[in-house]
Structure 1
């Protein structure tokens, strides 16, 4: 790995450390690859290929392993020549490119001190950040306050900072303590903290036995391991037994901190060089002092913070202190990884770039812009999302219909315009379950990302609120959901995006028990006038099928009659942003609640996109409120027509019930498309 290291304790950019720029993908652009061919006359022909069309073949980007981490750490040890020198910054990127003007990301390592904790993450991070890592040589004894000053000088350095861009500081364990201190001392700088397993209080019950053990170990441990067990030349007959005993001992002592790294016990000589006895004792003392300092300063931190917690870290974490830290930080979100250990970034299934994306923590300006700061999902991310929705998709086997320009109804998305802006206006089924399979289908068939306007509760949560955890909405945010607001709606149309709008909102999605499904739309809406300013194509659509999936037995009115449920509904609603306060009647009722449902034998979802309504060239006409209202009523009427059409036609679908669909899968294969009712033009 080619590494750029700065000279001395003060970081300096060298001309070779800058990387070439590449064109950054905006949220409304498409992720495409190019296929080259040659025509009969010899001239070249190019065709864009949809990378989402075959997600089954998608693989995660090749990333370095724990063994690579140990090999690179050994290279660091050799290059230091035993002296090491002071702490210094280096770039882990090889020949990767980055977006022009991308934010700076500083990585502060944990107790290992190598700065290689992001070795598995650096390629993807290099696409959206300018990444620099801090390295502490094995013989370093720099006090905690000097480390904090080094990071502060880097944060304030004009050569590192990009104007009007935030600075991201990623800290692991003890590095998270340094990051908190820096943020507390520099409130005037826009800093975003990513804290992986932050140490707010050291677990002395677990660390004291380790310190005592280190005190009695001889200094010749590395040579004894190498000479007696011959790990470098191959496994000795006793090596496997030694490894098993060591791993079991470490696992019983706490697992999280050392269990992961000692899993690669064939590299114990390298580990012994990274952690000489004196160095490890020093690191434990540094851990205690840094955690004490962070604990005293955390109440003055105002920076936006994302805390990543591992479920198998018994050494350092204390849940009560983490809760206290969350309460102390005004802009904080916690994400838990129940099956991961102390060295979070080195483990499979943990991708920091994806985490920042779905948490909406990546921004390039002073404030998050949900439109321009959004990055498209990779084919592998879509594959993972599709697998998470597999049970729902297989259960409902959704049918997608669209309308061609000549009025022909087809079972595909051929009637959907390729270029935006396009506004899809439809009815909101129960819990909005139809949007997830629709988003997958649009990407796989047409390479179109749907930007759904969603309730703000999916993007922010007050400390102590009873609202669901933000991780519950990851599946919605990865596919481009945006908080509903006039500003976001305007920006999406201006960027020529494909936008999904539900005029009925939450009230429509949670209709009453026993009622025939109907639209709960406002009397007046401004979306037609705004859409006409950008020449937007408006596509009405209808969706049916929720009544074949579940039955409502406890609706809003029923729950408001039960005192404790009424109190919960009022408390949760109070914690959210109020919508439609200027409306009257049923539409204004946006109280949040979870209806009581009984599952049914799964039926089928049907989504029908009507013929596009053009607004291009009608800007002046539709600027008039009465004319715009006429189009609004036309859209509403078309949505109702689409719903009626689907309700009627599904009665003749031989595969509406799940059992005929299962038989069809068994005879034709799981990847086959299940037929549906006959279309009139076919």
Structure 2
């Protein structure tokens, strides 16, 4: 059971303790701090807490409509309007940098005491029956603990979030902070040993997280490190340390102004982003000017967060933390994700991310090219999306790709769709489906809305057909298709040679799972819509002249599981590859060239072997990418055939012969779908891109381009 790799590696078939913080009010009565809900004192008993149970369902992307979906101009405008409104609605629920300063100002008014944990109100209330793992946020140099303020709401849906607050006047040593964090994670481990503890640290906090992981190699920890200060020796902050305290007063305003500018981001980049989003230049300049004036008013707040003595102490703390963490990197065994900014003006974060990734055995990196030092406070950075994309969210010791999956939000689906929309627009993809009465209609209205449903079809070159198909299902029908993908989408060789895992982040966000019998069984039993490509890698990386040829195993690999749960099997075909590209060097050609042959053999050894007990063509899972030249773009055609019912046939299909007959029927139907499209596209007057451009010039860019008669 395998799948394609390269440009697309989509699916194959399945073989198978904060107390109320009381501050005096003007009336003399105590009042609760509005941004906190409980205080966890730095003792082991502090971890007796309430945990939230969340029962989030995937939000509706479009209104459900059982009638034929004719994707005309009106429908397209409706989708675009809905997309815009959904993004605005989700964006408005987020907090901003202004909220950071407002809440930090309130928080430090009556600051004092030792470092302690708090849970932000936006993260929701928790109860002990929740399976949400604990997430501990370890702050950077500010120490306030509000560095995730823009992330709180989404993090609170899937984590129990605790944030570390280090009071302004506190002088707890680095080892003292380590012991506080260790007591917390050990207590959590005793209470719930089967769940991981997430340590999210930025800058100084990243060093703390690494140090804790090094001292506790047997603990199940997941580290999320943003711009780690392990590169402090190369930091601009080093230049402040030699300045005597009595001479530093004159430098404080300049230093704090510089830090504030880093927190507010790059003014030019912010203005350009606003223009790209559609704002007028004049209003953009005016609004940004107002923002900068407003932000300058927070300079006194920053001065209260980092007065001279505290800043010098934090710099010494950074120096100690960096040295401590660097000396113990070889002891870190925890699963680690490093987030590094390309425009960090305090630390060489990209360079440091590469160094740490080489040094740590279980590590990945994600780059934010336009991001600054205070990454989590920046617009467009979503920590939950990043964690999901990297495949780092799990509730147990190992990830369960079915039960641990968090459905994509509207914004995530729209971003994935936009990423591949160029392909939809360039090829003016035609999607056809079949109603229960056998009528062929344009659109996806023939796809059963209730699962389990198996979409079984053919791979084109590199599996490119799946890229726009999956988000289109969500946008048009509110159906999330779970693709079964090759293991290399989830596990990569440490020494390189294969595509970086970041290439496949969007696949994981949209619900792809590694190919395995158990994952296939779980998806079908959970009534999911599952995408299967029995031809796998062999079909996606075919040779010259093998376009649209099926390379399926000889025996059934999915029929009996489908019948066990009464799944509907929807055979489908896709054509258009031969109008997009032409293979010039296939597997046979490359194996004749010594360098390419050795490269193919090396890459094949690095990936997980699949179908080792299968003979014939499908057993040849050599990891290579055909060399091809693009053509003037033609058109992609999808045809989803009439669903095949298996409900009520469980006993019948337990017989191998009966199951094999149904398997061959599905294969035959896929071949018929391909043949239908190859024949009908010959009569499509808009198969050529020139005719499509002329049509759009006459009817508008958003108009639906006609196709052959159905």
Distance 1:282 1:516, change over 3 A: closer
Matches within 5 A, 1:462-501: 462-501=493-532
Write the deviation string for residues 156-184 of structure 1: whole angstroms up to 9, x where unpaired: 22599545321111011111111122222
Deviates more, 1:3-12 or 1:144-153: 3-12
Distance 1:511 1:390, change over 3 A: same
Question: Is 1:6 equivalent to 2:39 in the alignment?
Answer: yes
* Residues in 1 aligned to 2:636 and 2:704: alpha-carbon distance in whole angstroms: 14
Q: CA deviation at 1:453?
A: 0.9
Contact 2:696 2:703 in 1 (8 A): yes
Q: CA deviation at 1:379?
A: 0.8
Matches within 5 A, 1:596-611: 596-611=627-642
Q: Which residue of 2 aligns with 1:141?
A: 171
Q: Which residue of 2 aligns with 1:381?
A: 412
Contact 1:535 1:617 in 2 (8 A): yes
Q: CA deviation at 1:220?
A: 7.7
Q: CA deviation at 1:67?
A: 2.4
2:669 paired residue among 625, 635, 638: 638
Q: Secondary structure at the match of 2:158?
A: coil
Q: CA deviation at 1:210?
A: 2.3
Q: Which residue of 2 aligns with 1:57?
A: 85
Deviates more, 1:655-664 or 1:116-125: 655-664
Deviates more, 1:151-160 or 1:587-596: 151-160
Q: Which residue of 2 aligns with 1:175?
A: 205
* Residues in 2 aligned to 1:244 and 1:324: alpha-carbon distance in whole angstroms: 27
* Residues in 1 aligned to 2:177 and 2:336: alpha-carbon distance in whole angstroms: 21
Structure with more contact order per residue of length (Cα contacts < 8 Å, sep ≥ 6): 2
TM-score, normalization by structure 1: 0.87
Q: CA deviation at 1:213?
A: 4.6
Write the deviation string for residues 389-418 of structure 1: whole angstroms up to 9, x where unpaired: 121111111111111111111112222111
Q: Secondary structure at the match of 1:157?
A: helix
Question: Is 1:432 equivalent to 2:463 in the alignment?
Answer: yes
Unaligned 5+ segments in structure 2 are 1-33, 64-77, 270-290
Deviates more, 1:663-672 or 1:550-559: 663-672
Distance 1:491 1:14, change over 3 A: closer
Q: Secondary structure at the match of 1:641?
A: helix
Distance 1:243 1:177, change over 3 A: closer
Question: Is 1:185 equivalent to 2:185 in the alignment?
Answer: no
* Residues in 2 aligned to 1:445 and 1:251: alpha-carbon distance in whole angstroms: 37
Question: Is 1:312 equivalent to 2:340 in the alignment?
Answer: no
Q: Which residue of 2 aligns with 1:230?
A: none
Contact 1:450 1:500 in 2 (8 A): yes
Matches within 5 A, 1:391-540: 391-540=422-571
Q: Which residue of 1 aligns with 2:615?
A: 584
Contact 1:199 1:317 in 2 (8 A): no
Q: CA deviation at 1:299?
A: 1.4
Q: Which residue of 1 aligns with 2:133?
A: 103
Deviates more, 1:262-271 or 1:150-159: 262-271
After superposition, the CA RMSD in angstroms is 3.1
Question: Is 1:88 equivalent to 2:116 in the alignment?
Answer: yes
Q: Secondary structure at the match of 1:349?
A: coil
Deviates more, 1:64-73 or 1:147-156: 64-73
Write the deviation string for residues 48-71 of structure 1: whole angstroms up to 9, x where unpaired: xx9999324321433222222122
Question: Is 1:130 equivalent to 2:163 in the alignment?
Answer: no
* Residues in 1 aligned to 2:80 and 2:451: alpha-carbon distance in whole angstroms: 19
Deviates more, 1:492-501 or 1:465-474: 465-474
Contact 1:179 1:193 in 2 (8 A): yes
Contact 1:12 1:159 in 2 (8 A): no
Contact 2:122 2:156 in 1 (8 A): no
